[in-house]
Each structure stands twice: as structure tokens, then as C-alpha cells.
């Protein structure tokens, strides 16, 4: 299997762009995907129907796993100024009693805050600036895709520009990240499963005139008189959402005067805040039944929609991008067959369905407007909380249930997101991803060279794998090329899973673990077999394991 680029198949013309991957839609998901692809040396053309960036927020937060994935795009050191760590999430009754209490840590399981609030336009600016730094990304704004045609090993997109002219983009793969009303999905004729769970809410985004602390950051008021949501939306910004009540007209709710009247009890008035937007929206719980059609794929809202109560809409889309990026890269470089893209939906669709169903379950608890039913709900939940002395912690990221994983009869962490701790190398301590680097990672407490040999090492090199020899804290002086386990974090993780090695995918999901040199070799062989890639030509084995790539 040989690597092929678009220019091997066809050439660009004044009216035609060529790319490895064409991305339709430049929201957070499309932007993140384009950057993740370009960082791997791929040529990416992004087509966005809006001529200018959308300056109003949609999503308001992301979790710690998503923060880690966003950092993978190269904006990790820039996220801080446009986000604020959330302190917690509570549900209150109409009387102010606490039904649910979750405390968020500023340094969570994945090395980032458990939850961060954001002003979405600012996040999109960071992604746009990062894309502009990469020569492989071309963004065509004001271009609406009107046709998609697949032939042989390429897909041709036809787009209409704002001035009426037509432009063609030819690519090896296309990813539709074009939102809930996706043209790509509709063009492919992909059916959608809609759970029929929807309510209309008034969304009010405000910019506060003076700093003000809200603790906890996020609150759900389960008041049958008017279910209400209060959430952070990045520095200086905040969002209130008010559910439309039975018998209340959308037109009545969707008025600025109504917004100010509902905001007033929270101390939000024209004197204390600017109302950036007030508009009604109807959330949906739905997913596309097929995420791949030939060389065209769907991601983000084009593939799935969910109620907002778990805050997983954008997070799920970023996970889609992280899952797709490395698989498209391997397929385009000839290191995996095109069938590797079938594992995208195999892995992500069950994950997303679970998130949607969980969000629906939360919504059924929240969106109660009958006082008797609400009282019964409150009594049941409060009885279940009796005896609890403090807030709970957020659950770990959901593991994958299938796909490119090496599972063993003994179980183990295959499919789970590997946690992130601190390590040190060459006198530089820091989070693992920043010190070691990103991509495939083989982390082992033993010298891996004898068991791997040149053939396996060559395979790992072709994947740009970081082979990391983990050393106990204090060993840096005796082995300058090693990585020290600063806090004993990774040693404890491996011991917990009775393993001496863990092989981690570029999206931070564990491919599998191994115990001992022979099992580590088998672990690498399992990955190669699943990727259906031929054995690359041997390369010299380095004198000592290090932080650079496996070669």
C-alpha cells in the first residue's frame, strides 16, 4: 500500500482547489478537524457558507477531556484567557434545596479543569488563528456547497460564492461538519433517528458590566413555574435559559422585554448587563443513521443533536474530529486501508447515542411543569441524597465499546481515555502531552527494544509513535533520555491494571495494555493487524529509548 496525495490524481486549476480532505463547515468541529489534519502534513480545504465569523455564542462550556483535545490543536497555551474554570454544577428545587451537587476541580483527571466555560466566538478565533499558522489549510468563506460527486478515488464539491461564481474543490475525502441543517447529510440521503424529545427555551446571552462571582458556576433551577438554567459563558459573559410554559406563545416569549423581565430577579438589568442576544430555540435529540457514505463522512451536529443538559453537544463533535483526524491520516498515507474509516462510526455512534439518551433522561427530570409531579420528583431525589455529606465528582469520560481496541479476557482499560499526569524529561517537568508529544504513545516501564526488534520498531516509526521508557521519580540523572514519573502517577496507573506497558491512540483512548516484553510485542502486532498495513522496511533501532519518535 503506497501513500497517495491528491496531486497524484489531478492538478489544481484557477477555479479548482485540490486537497487531501475537504471540510464543509468551519464551526468549532470543522475548524478543529482541519487543524488536526494540517498538523499531520495534510492539505485541507474548508468551505464555509458564512462570509464572516459568527459573533454570537452557541456552546458555553467543555469538559476536561475536550480541553485536552483542543490543546492537541496547538492552542493549549492560549485557552486560558478566553475560558474560566467552572466550580460546579447544582440542581435546585423551587425552594432552593439541592437535588444534585457536582464539584469541579481546576486540575482534573485529564490534566485540565473538569469543566471550563467559554465565549464561543473567542474560541473560534483561536482555532482560526491556529489554522492560519498552518500552510496546509485553505479556508473559503462565503462558499455554499451545492453539489457533491464521487468518482473513483476522489470527491468533487461544487460551491457557489457570494458573488455568484462557482468554485470546485476536489479531495480524496470529504467531512460534513455543516451543522444541524447539514447539506452534506441531506445530499447523501442519510436518514435521521429523532427521539421526538424537544422543548422550546428562551436563550439570553449577557455581558456583565462589572465582575460578579456566581457559585456554583452552573445551576439548574427545577421550578415547575419556570424551569431555568444559569451557566457561565466565559470571562465576563453569562447565559440564562427559560423554558417556554404550556399555553405560552413563542412570540410572547421571544421579546426583549420578556428577557429583561425574567432576568431581573437575578440582578441582571440594563444597568448591570448588556443583552447580547435573546432568542428562542428548540433542542432535539437525534442522530444520523449512517456517518459514512463512500468517501464522505459526517461529524458534529451534522451527525448528532442532543439536549443541552449534560453540556456534551460541542464536546461530542470535538471527539468526532479527534477520532477522524488520525484515521484519515493513516488512510491517506497508506498505513491503513480505507476500512479504517468504518471504525469511526463503530466507535463514535454508540458513544454519542449514550450521551443523547443521558441528556434526554436529564431533560425529562428538568422539564417538569406540573407542580404535583415536580413535588414527587423532589421528594424522591432528596430521599436518595439523604446522608450525603458533600458534593459528588464528575464521572470519567465514557470509554469506547468497540472498534480499534485490543481487549483481553481479563478486561482492562482498553477503550478508556488515559488520564494525564506530570512527567519530566531533560529537566523539564509538565503534563505528559506537552513533555512527550502527541500521537500514538507506547509507555512502558521496561526497555522495549529487545522485545520489539527492528520490524516492530519500524512499524511504530511509520506511525510517528512516541516510545516512552517510564522511570521512577529521581532517576533522571542516571538516564537522561528517560521520562520520569514525577508524582508516581503512571506507575500507579499501570499497577492498577497489572500492566508494564500501555499503547495509547492519538485520541488518547487506550488501545490496550501488556504485561511483560512478549505481551508488549503482541500488543504492537495486534495494532498492525487491525490497521491491515504492510510491514514497513526495517530501520535501525536507536541506541536508547527517548522522547522523540520511535526512530
Answer yes or no: do 50 and 146 share one domain.
Answer: yes
pLDDT band (50, 70, 90) for residue 16: confident
Residue 412: inside a domain, yes or no?
no
Answer yes or no: do 261 and 137 share one domain.
Answer: no
pLDDT band (50, 70, 90) for residue 294: very high
Answer yes or no: do 160 and 231 share one domain.
Answer: no
pLDDT at residue 545 in the model: 36
Answer yes or no: do 241 and 342 share one domain.
Answer: no
Answer yes or no: do 276 and 304 share one domain.
Answer: no
pLDDT at 57 over 90: no
Answer yes or no: do 451 and 308 share one domain.
Answer: no
Average pLDDT, integer, range 337-348: 96
Average pLDDT, integer, range 10-21: 78
∠ CA 204-250-202, nearest 5°, is: 15
Residue 512: inside a domain, yes or no?
yes
Residue 410: inside a domain, yes or no?
no
Residue 378 sits in a domain whose CATH number is: 3.30.9.10
∠ CA 188-189-193, nearest 5°, is: 120
pLDDT at 511 over 50: yes
Answer yes or no: do 337 and 439 share one domain.
Answer: no
Answer yes or no: do 429 and 378 share one domain.
Answer: no
pLDDT at 551 over 70: no
- Domain that residue 450 falls in: 422-531
Residue 459 sits in a domain whose CATH number is: 3.40.30.120
pLDDT at residue 12 in the model: 61
Q: How far apart are CA 414 and CA 103, in angstroms?
A: 27
CB-based contact 416:405 (threshold 8 Å): no
pLDDT band (50, 70, 90) for residue 26: very high
CB-based contact 31:131 (threshold 8 Å): yes
Residue 74: inside a domain, yes or no?
no
Q: How far apart are CA 32 and CA 50, in angstroms?
A: 17
Would you give the DSSP letter of residue 412? Answer: -
Residue 141 sits in a domain whose CATH number is: 3.50.50.60
Answer yes or no: do 375 and 509 share one domain.
Answer: no
Average pLDDT for the chain: 91
Answer yes or no: do 113 and 95 share one domain.
Answer: yes
Using the structure block, give the residue that is written with the C-alpha cell 491503513: 336
Q: Is 51 exposed, middle or buried (0-12, 13-18, 19+ CB in 10 A)?
A: exposed
Average pLDDT, integer, range 188-210: 96
Query: Any idea of the CA torsion for 528, 299, 50, 137, to the nearest 10 degrees?
Result: -10
Q: Which three cell numbers stand for residue 429?
A: 517537568
- pLDDT tens digit string along 63-99? 999 999 999 999 999 999 999 999 999 999 999 999 9
CB-based contact 545:451 (threshold 8 Å): no
Bigger pLDDT: 491 vs 428: 491
pLDDT band (50, 70, 90) for residue 408: confident
Residue 540: inside a domain, yes or no?
no
3-state SS, 25-88, equals CCCHHHHHHHHHHHCCCCCEEEEECCCCCCCCCCCCEEEHHHHHHHHHHHHHHHCHHHEEECCE
Q: How far apart are CA 109 and CA 65, in angstroms?
A: 8
Q: What are phi and psi of 321, to 5 degrees?
A: -60, -45
Q: How far apart are CA 539 and CA 523, in angstroms?
A: 20
Total domains in the chain come to 3
Answer yes or no: do 260 and 294 share one domain.
Answer: no
Answer yes or no: do 110 and 123 share one domain.
Answer: no
pLDDT at residue 56 in the model: 78
Residue 404: inside a domain, yes or no?
no
Specify the pairing of strand 237-243 against strand 228-232.
Answer: antiparallel
SS3 (DSSP) at 416:
coil
Residue 27: inside a domain, yes or no?
yes
pLDDT at residue 14 in the model: 66
Residue 162: inside a domain, yes or no?
yes
Q: Which three cell numbers stand for residue 371?
A: 407542580
pLDDT at residue 4 in the model: 44
- pLDDT tens digit string along 299-335? 999 999 999 999 999 999 999 999 999 999 999 999 9
Amino acid at each position: 500500500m503506497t501513500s497517495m496525495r491528491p496531486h497524484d490524481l489531478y492538478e489544481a486549476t484557477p477555479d479548482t482547489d485540490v486537497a487531501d480532505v475537504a471540510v464543509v463547515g468551519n464551526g468549532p468541529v470543522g475548524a478543529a478537524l482541519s487543524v488536526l489534519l494540517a498538523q499531520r502534513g495534510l492539505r485541507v480545504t474548508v468551505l464555509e457558507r458564512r462570509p464572516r465569523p459568527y459573533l454570537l455564542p452557541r456552546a458555553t462550556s467543555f469538559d476536561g477531556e475536550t480541553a485536552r483535545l483542543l490543546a492537541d490543536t496547538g492552542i493549549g497555551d492560549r485557552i486560558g484567557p478566553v475560558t474560566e474554570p467552572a466550580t460546579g454544577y447544582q440542581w435546585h428545587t423551587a425552594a432552593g434545596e439541592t437535588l444534585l451537587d457536582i464539584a469541579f476541580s481546576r486540575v482534573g483527571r485529564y490534566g485540565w479543569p473538569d469543566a471550563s466555560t467559554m465565549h464561543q466566538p473567542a474560541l473560534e478565533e483561536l482555532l482560526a488563528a491556529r489554522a492560519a499558522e498552518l500552510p496546509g489549510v485553505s479556508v473559503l468563506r462565503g462558499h455554499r456547497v451545492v453539489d457533491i460527486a464521487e468518482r473513483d478515488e476522489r470527491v468533487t464539491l461544487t460551491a457557489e460564492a457570494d458573488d455568484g461564481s462557482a468554485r470546485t474543490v476536489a479531495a480524496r475525502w470529504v467531512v460534513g461538519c455543516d451543522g444541524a441543517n447539514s447539506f452534506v447529510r441531506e445530499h447523501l440521503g442519510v436518514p435521521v433517528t429523532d427521539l421526538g424529545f424537544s422543548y422550546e427555551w428562551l436563550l439570553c446571552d449577557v455581558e456583565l458590566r462589572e465582575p460578579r462571582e456566581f457559585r456554583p458556576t452552573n445551576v439548574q433551577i427545577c421550578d415547575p413555574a419556570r424551569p431555568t438554567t444559569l451557566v457561565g459563558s466565559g470571562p465576563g459573559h453569562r447565559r440564562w435559559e427559560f423554558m417556554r410554559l404550556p399555553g405560552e406563545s413563542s412570540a410572547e416569549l421571544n421579546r426583549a422585554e420578556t428577557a429583561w423581565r425574567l432576568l431581573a430577579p437575578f440582578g441582571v438589568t440594563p444597568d448591570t448587563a448588556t443583552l447580547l442576544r435573546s432568542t428562542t430555540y428548540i433542542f432535539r435529540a437525534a442522530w444520523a443513521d449512517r456517518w459514512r457514505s463512500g468517501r464522505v463522512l459526517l461529524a458534529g451536529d451534522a451527525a448528532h443533536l442532543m439536549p443541552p443538559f449534560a453540556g456534551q453537544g460541542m464536546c461530542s463533535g470535538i471527539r468526532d474530529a479527534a477520532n477522524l483526524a488520525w484515521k484519515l491520516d493513516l488512510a491517506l498515507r497508506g498505513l491503513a486501508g480505507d476500512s479504517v474509516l468504518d471504525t469511526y462510526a463503530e466507535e463514535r455512534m454508540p458513544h454519542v447515542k449514550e450521551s443523547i439518551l443521558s441528556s434526554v433522561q436529564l431533560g425529562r427530570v428538568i422539564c417538569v411543569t406540573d407542580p404535583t409531579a415536580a413535588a414527587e420528583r423532589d421528594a424522591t431525589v432528596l430521599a436518595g441524597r439523604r446522608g450525603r455529606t458533600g458534593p459528588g465528582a464528575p464521572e470519567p469520560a465514557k470509554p469506547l465499546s468497540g472498534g480499534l481496541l485490543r481487549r483481553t479476557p481479563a478486561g482492562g482499560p482498553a477503550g478508556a481515555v488515559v488520564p494525564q499526569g506530570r512527567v519530566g524529561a531533560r529537566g523539564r517537568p509538565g503534563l505528559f502531552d506537552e513533555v512527550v508529544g502527541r500521537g500514538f504513545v507506547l509507555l512502558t516501564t521496561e526497555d522495549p527494544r529487545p522485545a520489539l526488534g527492528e520490524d516492530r520498531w519500524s512499524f511504530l516509526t511509520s506511525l510517528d509513535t512516541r516510545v516512552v521508557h517510564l522511570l521512577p521519580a529521581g532517576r533522571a540523572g542516571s538516564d537522561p533520555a528517560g521520562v520520569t514519573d514525577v508524582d508516581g502517577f503512571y506507575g500507579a496507573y499501570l499497577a492498577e491494571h497489572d500492566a508494564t506497558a500501555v499503547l495509547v491512540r492519538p485520541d488518547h483512548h487506550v488501545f490496550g495494555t501488556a504485561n511483560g516484553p512478549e505481551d508488549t510485542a503482541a500488543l504492537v502486532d495486534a495494532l498492525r493487524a487491525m490497521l491491515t498495513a504492510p510491514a514497513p522496511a526495517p530501520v535501525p533501532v536507536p541506541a536508547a529509548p527517548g522522547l522523540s519518535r520511535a526512530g
